[in-house]
Structures are given as structure tokens and as C-alpha cells.
């Protein structure tokens, strides 16, 4: 059986990332720094040799895909960021610290927001579709989706998974085994032959 990999690429820095403004499913553009980060992905994604690409329907991911040389990526809204409801557009400093902490610990969901189990199930369904289609995929997406994908695929507690950097690559092996191969890589992403368990 051929190995199928998902190369999850977090979008470059957005204008709102730069000012610590909560985005969720709001749709800001990349900052100039984010555009530079996206352009720097061109040799990285070429090295990966993925056969196809897919992208969130949000602008910051679409811009990243385009500047990285994949303007023709298929759009799948299941790869969009977790919904933050009434918090979207607010500065982090404007949200009560205890509520933000409880949200990050999955103990609280803001009004109109997306509960973690629903979010992880959405991302999981997107993973299963790509696994069924086979081949290796570049997935231009968001930090929350990277965490949800790792938790879904490996069974890890989402609270133990750090958020990835902007314009980083995380690699999941979907078939024949399901495992995390690389996390939060910037620059070259060379995958050595995977060792067998216990080796």
C-alpha cells in the first residue's frame, strides 16, 4: 500500500495575528510579513512533492496557498478555523482572561462559538475524505485545524498539543499507519524513512 501523507500548512501571519485580535472564522487578509512567509513556502512545498492541494475557504489560507504556488487548490470549508462566535474581531485583551483560559482548556464556548468536539469532528471528516481519495495532499489551513487534526488522528489530548507557528508544516501519515511524522516545521521538511514501532 502506498503511503498517504497530509502536509498541513498553517497560513502566514494575518493582519489580526499581528495585533492579537481574535479571528476564528472572520476573514482578515495576510499582513505583509505573512505574505513574505507565504512566498518563502514555495521551495518547501516543492520539496514535499505532494500530488494535490486543498485550502480553507478563508482569505488568509487562500492567500497563503496562492503565494506558495497553489492558487488552483481545491476549496474545502471544513478546513476553516474554529468558530469563536461573539469573540471574533475582539482583541484578546478585551475578553475576560478567565473566559479565554476556560475556552482554551475546552471548558467554555463563547456565544455562537464552536465546541471543540464539533470542531474536531469537522476536521476529522475532512481527513477521512482525503484518506479515501488517496495520494498525498498539501492542506493550507489554520492553527486550530492542525491541532484538531493531530488529536483526531493520534488520539492525543488536544490540550497537550501546542499551536503551530505561522507558515509551518505538520506532516500526518494517514495510510498505511496513522501517525504524526513532523510537527511545526519551518524551512526544509525532509522525512526520513519511518521506523517501525519499537525500532
Domain boundaries, the chain: 4-185
* CATH top class, domain 4-185: alpha beta
Give the pLDDT score at 132. Answer: 94
List, for residues 71-123, the tens digit of each pLDDT value.
999 999 999 999 999 999 999 999 999 999 999 999 999 999 999 999 999 99
Q: Which residues are catalytic?
A: 11, 81
Give the pLDDT score at 61. Answer: 98
List own/partner pairs for 177-185 with CB under 8 A and 24 or more apart.
178/153, 178/154, 179/153, 179/154, 180/150, 180/153, 180/154, 181/5, 183/150
Give the pLDDT score at 3. Answer: 81
Give the pLDDT score at 198. Answer: 39
Mind listing the pLDDT tens digit of every residue in the chain (199 residues)?
578 899 999 999 999 999 999 999 999 999 999 999 999 999 999 999 999 999 999 999 999 999 999 999 999 999 999 999 999 999 999 999 999 999 999 999 999 999 999 999 999 999 999 999 999 999 999 999 999 999 999 999 999 999 999 999 999 999 889 999 999 998 766 665 554 443 3
Amino acid at each position: 500500500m502506498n503511503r498517504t501523507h497530509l502536509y498541513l500548512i498553517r497560513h502566514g501571519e494575518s493582519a489580526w495575528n499581528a495585533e492579537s485580535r481574535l479571528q476564528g472564522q472572520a476573514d482578515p487578509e495576510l499582513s505583509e510579513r505573512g505574505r513574505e512567509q507565504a512566498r518563502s513556502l514555495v521551495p518547501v512545498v516543492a520539496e514535499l512533492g505532494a500530488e494535490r492541494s486543498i485550502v480553507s475557504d478563508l482569505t488568509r489560507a487562500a492567500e497563503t496557498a496562492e503565494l506558495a504556488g497553489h492558487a488552483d487548490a481545491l476549496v474545502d470549508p471544513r478546513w476553516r478555523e474554529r468558530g469563536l462566535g461573539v469573540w471574533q474581531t475582539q482583541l484578546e485583551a478585551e475578553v475576560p482572561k478567565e473566559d479565554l483560559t476556560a475556552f482554551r482548556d475546552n471548558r467554555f464556548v463563547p456565544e455562537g462559538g464552536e465546541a471543540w468536539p464539533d470542531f474536531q469532528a469537522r476536521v476529522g471528516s475532512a481527513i477521512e475524505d482525503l484518506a479515501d481519495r488517496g495520494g498525498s495532499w498539501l492542506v493550507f489551513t489554520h492553527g486550530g485545524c492542525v491541532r484538531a487534526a493531530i488529536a483526531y488522528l493520534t488520539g492525543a489530548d488536544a490540550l497537550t498539543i501546542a499551536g503551530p507557528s505561522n507558515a509551518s508544516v505538520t506532516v500526518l501519515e494517514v495510510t498505511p499507519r496513522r501517525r504524526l511524522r513532523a510537527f511545526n516545521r519551518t524551512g526544509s521538511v525532509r522525512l526520513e524513512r519511518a521506523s517501525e514501532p519499537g525500532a
